[in-house]
Amino acid sequence: MELTERCGARKEETSMKTAGIIPARYGSSRLPGKPLLEIQGMPMVWWVYERARRAAKLDQVWVATDDVRIEETCRSLCIPVVMTGKEHRTAAERLQEAAEQVKADFYVQINGDEPLIDPSNIDAAVPDEMPAGEEFGTNIIAEVKDPVQLLHSSNIKVVFDSSYRALYMSRAPVPCPFSSVSFSYYKHVGIIGYSRRMLDFYKTSVPGRLERIEGIDTLRFLDYGKELRLIPVEKADSLSVDTEADLLWVRDRMREEKRL
């Protein structure tokens, strides 16, 4: 906490303590050192942090990394950072380790490769209240309006009940329009909220049947009957920077709009 106090005051605390965690892994097969790539004179991780700390419902924002180069960059820019192991296979595993160092009641996973992420979408992932003593999570979703996105397996489609509790997630277009076409498809956006109990459950559990079939780690919670509440948002046009082309597009957009 010394770094946070030295670099700036924290937001006013509420009864439910919330923390935004930005997983920032150095090793990327397509863009090595991605969190440190330059955009408008600053590393990508700084842009993500600056947008995340604008979220009104987060009491604190931290970067969780596995690499000393990212750690040193964060400290030089007054970004709170914790070191985690290199063995983690998923962002949820990294979050769980970070949660052992960053104390909160609720944690929001914020992708470290989305420098255009919308702070209001981060806020949407934070519930006004959560079930006491239970594993609980949230997941931001958005309507699919482009048929290409619907068919692409990298876009995770979601099915939910009338209360927006998740029923299933798939890389395939679901539900199937057999008896009706009067509905909208929705996709997982990539901002996920976890209670501390949910993160601890993830650490001590193994992939279930559906997770092994679809290759979607969030299905772990549905495999074991945990509550995952889906929250629709109107605008979710942030881009994950996975290629050089993505990086050039983001640089151009931010240069044109001159915005964080």
Spell out the domain ranges in the chain: 1-117
Question: Of 38-42, 101-105, 168-172, 243-247, which range is least confident?
Answer: 243-247
pLDDT of residue 3: 45
Amino acid (one-letter) located at 243 = T
Q: Are 176 and 113 in contact (CB under 8 A)?
A: no
Average pLDDT, the chain: 89
**Which residues, in sequence order, are bridge partners of residue 188?**
141
Average pLDDT rounded to a whole number, residues 220-231: 96
- Report pLDDT digits (tens) over 137-156: 999 999 998 888 888 888 89
Tokens of 1: 């906490």
- Residues whose CB falls within 8 Å of the CB of residue 169, separated by 6 or more in sequence, listed in order: 156, 157, 158, 159, 188, 214, 216, 218, 219, 222
- Give the model confidence (pLDDT) of 172-208 as tens digits: 999 999 999 999 999 998 899 999 999 999 999 999 9
pLDDT, tens digit, for every residue of 102-135?
Answer: 999 999 999 988 998 999 999 999 998 888 888 9
Q: Give the 3-state secondary structure of residue 259.
A: coil
Q: What is the pLDDT of residue 244?
A: 87
What are the pLDDT digits (tens) for 11-43?
555 578 999 999 998 877 678 889 999 999 999
Max CA separation in the chain (angstroms): 60
What pLDDT sits at residue 131? 84
Structure-block tokens of residue 192? 């996920």
Which pLDDT score is estimated for 12? 52
The tokens for 126 are: 């934070």
pLDDT bin (cut points 50, 70, 90) of residue 246 is confident
Residue 260 has pLDDT above 80, yes or no: no
> What's the CATH class of domain 1-117?
alpha beta
Residue 101 has which token pair?
A: 């160092």
Alpha carbon distances (Å) from 193 to 123, 145, 199, 223: 10, 24, 10, 18
Decide if pLDDT at 8 tops 90. no
137's tokens = 């999570």
Identify the sign of the CA torsion 224, 221, 56, 25.
positive
Q: Which two tokens stand for residue 47?
A: 């842009």
